[in-house]
Amino acid sequence: MNREERIRAALAGQPVDHVPVGAWMHLSEFDQDPISLAEAEAAFTEKYDFDYIKMMPFGLYSTQDFGNQITIYCDPYREPIVKNFAIQSPSDYDALKAIPAIQGTYGKQIEFAREMVKRRKPGTPVMQTIFSPFSTLKKMAGDRLLMDMINYPESVHHALSAITATTLDFVSYNIDAGVDGFFFATQNATRSVMNLHEFEEFGQFYDLQVIKSYAKKTWFNAVHIHGEDIYFNEVAAYPVNCINWHDRHTWPTLKEARALTDKCLLAGIKSAPYFVNGVLKYDDIILEGTPEEITAHVKDAIAQVDGRGLILGPGCVVNPKAPEENLMALRKAVES
């Protein structure tokens, strides 16, 4: 099997010659230049012979054109951070307008998609990363958004509509660029962020507008459910064919998830960032484990679902300090 055949078989729950595997990390040294980033991701994929490319535009890319002021380090171990939030008052939600996704920082990610498709090894599936409209707005407003959606719901809905329209435009340009699908990341589908009614109103409603725009146009479409105590069943029902979440940190486990859905599971590798007093840390077996521990970890993941309908990948992002021998062990483990 080549890479695309292997991924398509896994998505369909069909037998594979080996369980497809991949990993991704922030490449902050390169992610302000679309050509450099595409070159780096292509080289990373070939170095470890991974089966797919999950594109890694920097995590705040969807906010800058809307007014977020960002501090950018271009350092491999320091990701861009918000310097000043675009949303400072309720009136800022009302002032938000949809923008053409071909310009500015959005436009750079479209160029990244074009360059990634050009530079990938033929037959290597590529997913562009997009964020739920609420996730983007949360990065523009900070924690005040959780109260503003209660006190100023119409204003928040206005902003979410503008972000959704821009995201739809962005999706269309990426399809034209030749991506095989999208990695849709929602960072708010957790009970700690909002109750189910709030999630349906401010999250799911806009999520589905975005996902339905490409669900029948691209073939490799994953949804990432970030965090713990997640709305797994609700998000698993989205029109995607692949589900990614922190299966090593929160319900459900891979085995439990297989009993809940027939969709392909993109999971199995314990890698997740978290903050302690504002400092980013990782709970990451690829960083901290030995090659032998990683091999056992992979075997356990495969055994939980009998190797069917599984694409191995991290629950979130791998620490960029992860040693080469551990990334090599991850790839070799699926063949042992």
| pTM of the predicted model as reported, rounded to 2 decimal places | 0.97
Q: Mean pLDDT throughout 274-297?
A: 88
CB 191 within 8 A of CB 151: no
Looking at residue 229, what is its pLDDT? Answer: 96
Q: Does residue 210 register a pLDDT over 70?
A: yes
Q: Which of the four pLDDT bands, split at 50, 70 and 90, describes residue 278?
A: low
For residue range 230-254, list pLDDT tens digits in order: 999 999 999 999 999 999 999 999 9
Q: Where are the beta strands (DSSP E) in the chain?
A: 53-54, 69-71, 81-84, 126-131, 181-186, 222-225, 242-245, 264-269, 271-276, 279-284, 310-314
CB 56 within 8 A of CB 37: yes
Looking at residue 55, what is its pLDDT? Answer: 98
Looking at residue 91, what is its pLDDT? Answer: 98
Looking at residue 258, what is its pLDDT? Answer: 98
**Is 3-333 in CATH node 3.40.50.12170?**
no
Residue type, 234: E
Residue type, 196: L
Percent of the chain scored above 90 by pLDDT? 96
Q: Which residues pair with 129 in a beta bridge?
A: 183
Looking at residue 275, what is its pLDDT? Answer: 72
Q: Mean pLDDT throughout 28-54?
A: 98
Residue 191: both structure tokens together: 């009970």
Looking at residue 272, what is its pLDDT? Answer: 84
Looking at residue 276, what is its pLDDT? Answer: 73
For residue range 74-132, list pLDDT tens digits in order: 999 999 999 999 999 999 999 999 999 999 999 999 999 999 999 999 999 999 999 99
Domain boundaries, the chain: 3-333
Looking at residue 299, what is its pLDDT? Answer: 98
Q: Does residue 205 register a pLDDT over 80?
A: yes
Residue 63: both structure tokens together: 């906010």
Q: What is the mean pLDDT of the chain?
A: 97
For residue range 249-274, list pLDDT tens digits in order: 999 999 999 999 999 999 999 998 87
List C-alpha distances in Å: 160 to 1, 2, 69, 147, 184. Answer: 42, 40, 19, 15, 16
For residue range 137-149, list pLDDT tens digits in order: 999 999 999 999 9
Looking at residue 280, what is its pLDDT? Answer: 72
Q: Mean pLDDT throughout 294-321?
A: 97
